[in-house]
Amino acid sequence: MNVRWPDRQTVKKISGVLGVLGVLGVLVGLGVGEAHAVNQEIRALFQPDPAQPGKNLFVNQTPNGGYCATFPERCAATNMFSIELPVRHDSIRPILPGDDLSVKVPADWRRLTVTNTETQQSEIVEVRITGLGSEFYLSNTVEELTGVAQPTGHDILWTSQTGWLYAPAPCGGSGLANYTSRSYRFFWHTPVQASCTKTAAFRIPSMYFNKLDFAYELRTPNPLGMSSGLYTGSITYSIGPTGDFQLGAMMEPDDGNLTLDFVLDVQHTLKVDIPPGGNHVVLEPSGGWQHWLDSGRKPERLYRDQTFLLSSSSKFSMKLECGIVVEGGCAIASSESGSRYGGRVDVSVSLPNGLTDSVGQPVKRFKLGREPSAPFHPGIYVDRKPGTLHFEVGPQATNWFLINAQHSPFAGNITMIWDSEVD
């Protein structure tokens, strides 16, 4: 029997990287007269890693700014990322002794939906803000405001008698502080969604925060259950005295909203390697034909097992295309007699460990047909692991061959299709 493997067009379907490359942002347009807003893309990528087949995680591709750009090792240790945006907050009146500057961020997990731009498959992403920082500028030097030069002047400017290096509870300090006589850069960790307050001890005619430096954490879906392609979605936060991001009741931002535009890029691998000569399958009885001739015993079946190497990080289905179609599958026939039917060839597959069927069981001798199978699912990235195709002619058809097909070759083409385009 001849087994025909997919042609060039089909191979493109079953092998190689199936992800779509490129940059796609979801931008919200601003109409005339609308409140200002700022957009920031957050991009993450999944590509299977043969060196770490059990690592089924997205890798954040968004360049760090602000705190994590200054302290990359600290952020990497806690899987934290940060972005610095040119959002400025200006005081709308003088800061008086006893006035509070309360910092608050959306520190709780929030959910958004990302959708595949081609398949419309949707998944959930979660994000939370884990830190906030900025650099504030004073209208006067701290010595003019307090009568004491820096750095002590920065400390006594607030009733806590410490500068903004030291975060008030429930926020935590980060070790980041830079200052001049008129400015102070800080960054605080925000473990919970609550206000962290500094109280002025002296009158400050005016001040402003020149940027918004925030850290975030992500929870992304399992990419092994996602189709290849780009998944996009957005979440919007308000900025201001009563917003999600706050820097004080008397501090007004020049941007009222922050929209985070998420792009999750899934680039799966589905590749099948057949050993040389594997496209020509010869069906024989157990022990070969000579063993049958020598023993005089009739074989009960004709079969052949053909191995292949599979690499897969995505769910996929399998099906057959038959040169000779019969009920229940494909057949082989005599090329000499012109008969269109000699016997059905049953085809089944056993897949490598790490792949399961639709009910979570190992795939062992799963029968294939001309309709797509239910999807097979990877639990880990399977990289060049052996699987087996089982070809078999059952007892009834084998007996027919022994009676009717002596000295007459029977052959047929069966095409195997691995398809990752599964909903």
221 shares a domain with 178: yes
374 shares a domain with 302: yes
Encoding tokens for residue 64? 């760090």
192 shares a domain with 274: no
Residue 9: what are its φ and ψ, rounded to 5°?
-65, -40
42 within domain boundaries: yes
Q: Which domain holds residue 84?
A: 19-266
5 within domain boundaries: no
Grouping H, G, I as helix, E, B as strand and the rest as coil, residue 73 is helix
133 shares a domain with 38: yes
Give the largest CA-CA distance in the chain.
Answer: 113
Phi-psi map region of 360: left, alpha, beta (phi>0 left; psi -120 to 50 alpha): left
182 shares a domain with 58: yes
Residue 9 confidence (pLDDT): 34
Residues ≥6 apart with Cβ < 8 Å to 329: 320, 322, 344, 345, 346, 347, 368, 369, 370
289 shares a domain with 251: no
The answer to whether the Cα torsion of 153, 158, 161, 166 is positive or negative is negative
Grouping H, G, I as helix, E, B as strand and the rest as coil, residue 218 is strand
What CA–CA distance (Å, rounded) separates 351 from 362? 8
Chosen domain end from 266, 288, 305: 266
Residue 333 confidence (pLDDT): 82
195 shares a domain with 102: yes
What CA–CA distance (Å, rounded) separates 41 from 255? 17
Residue 92's CB is within 10 A of a number of other CB atoms, namely: 12
Chosen domain end from 266, 284, 317: 266
State the DSSP code for 379: S
Chosen domain end from 266, 295, 314: 266
12 within domain boundaries: no
Residue 418 confidence (pLDDT): 95
145 shares a domain with 107: yes
Which DSSP helix (H) or strand (E) runs through 35?
Answer: none
For residue 350, the domain's CATH number is 2.60.40
What CA–CA distance (Å, rounded) separates 193 from 210? 23
- Strand pairing class (257-266; 37-46): parallel
Each residue's pLDDT, cut to its tens digit, for the chain (423 residues) gives 544 444 333 333 433 222 222 322 222 222 333 446 799 999 999 999 888 888 889 999 999 999 999 889 989 888 889 999 999 999 999 999 999 999 999 999 999 999 999 889 999 999 999 999 999 999 999 999 999 999 999 999 999 989 999 999 999 999 888 999 999 999 999 999 999 999 999 999 999 999 999 999 999 999 998 989 999 999 999 999 999 999 999 999 999 999 999 999 999 999 999 999 888 999 988 878 777 777 777 888 899 999 999 999 999 999 999 998 888 889 888 766 555 456 889 999 999 999 999 999 999 999 999 999 999 999 999 999 999 999 999 888 888 777 776 667 788 899 999 998 776
Residue 55 confidence (pLDDT): 84
Residue 337 confidence (pLDDT): 57
68 shares a domain with 51: yes
Residue 89 confidence (pLDDT): 97
* 225 neighbors 218 (Cβ within 8 angstroms): no
The answer to whether the Cα torsion of 166, 171, 176, 180 is positive or negative is negative
| Number of domains observed in the structure of the chain | 2
91 shares a domain with 25: yes
124 within domain boundaries: yes
Beta bridge partners of 392: 303, 346
284 shares a domain with 260: no
What CA–CA distance (Å, rounded) separates 287 from 308? 22
What CA–CA distance (Å, rounded) separates 393 from 331? 9
* 266 neighbors 103 (Cβ within 8 angstroms): no
What CA–CA distance (Å, rounded) separates 114 from 126? 10
Chain center to CA of 36: 31
